[in-house]
Homo-oligomer: A and B are copies of this chain.
Amino acid sequence: MVRHETVPSLAEVAPSLARRARRRTETVDEILRIAVDVMREEGAAALSLSEVARRIGVRPPSLYKYFPSRAAVYDALFRRGAEQVLDRFRTAAAAAEPGVEALAAGVEAFGRWGAENGALAQLLFWRPVPGFVPSAEAYGPAVDLVSDIEKQLASAVERGQLRAEAATDEGQAVLSVLIGGAFSQHAANEPDVAYDEGRFTRLVPVLLDIFVRTYAPEGDRP
């Protein structure tokens, strides 16, 4: 005998599941948002789940329904940061003329995100948290970003805007030193200064110009 009157219909259960899933996502979002606040105020390595719980207004054990460990929170933060910067890079690059202009626009957006999200950026560019190593899954968007930059470099070479050398491992490493260096100096020396006012962040266009001149095709130099 089927007790169909006690079994909720799909129409009844589906919205409830969706609501629950949405509510859960919102809570996860809130945890991560507060975690970023704590990291910014106390330092990336000083993230404490108890402090996050305190600010949200729940007890620490409740957070374990959403994340199995403190490392899992760091992992989600890493992934989220990498997704954000990838998104910014792609949006900016897509809005510009393909080639060096797209590259410059993407790198500029990249640097701006880093300066404005120092706590998250430290997690991506430095290794400030003893014992934490991002999972391969969290690394995904970061890998995509590197691959996007490679593509933009290759595109600039194809268009004759840069020498072939720019798209080699050396060119990529030089570019990452320039971007990572500007961010690092900014984050270490003047973390609270706005991007447009920073002594180092303001150099990003200059550094890009240096990169482009260095790898300019023969005969193109002034």
- A residues near B, CB below 8 A? 42-46, 122, 125-131, 169-170, 173-174, 176-182, 184-185, 187-188, 191, 199-200, 203, 206-207, 210, 213-214, 221-222
A176 to B185, CA, bound (A): 8
CB-CB nearest 7 A-B residue pairs: A181-B181, A43-B130, A46-B130, A177-B181, A45-B45, A184-B184, A128-B128
By a CB distance below 8 angstroms, the chain B residues around A203 are 170, 173-174, 177
Q: Does the CB pair A177–B191 fall under 8 Å?
A: no
By a CB distance below 8 angstroms, the chain B residues around A182 are 177, 181
**Sample of 7 more A-B contacts, CB < 8 Å, known A43-B131, A177-B200:** A43-B45, A43-B128, A126-B187, A127-B188, A177-B181, A181-B181, A184-B184
A213 to B188, CA, bound (A): 28
By a CB distance below 8 angstroms, the chain B residues around A210 are 174, 210, 214
Residue of B nearest to A221 (CB): B221
By a CB distance below 8 angstroms, the chain B residues around A44 are 128, 130
A180 to B189, CA, bound (A): 12
By a CB distance below 8 angstroms, the chain B residues around A122 are 126
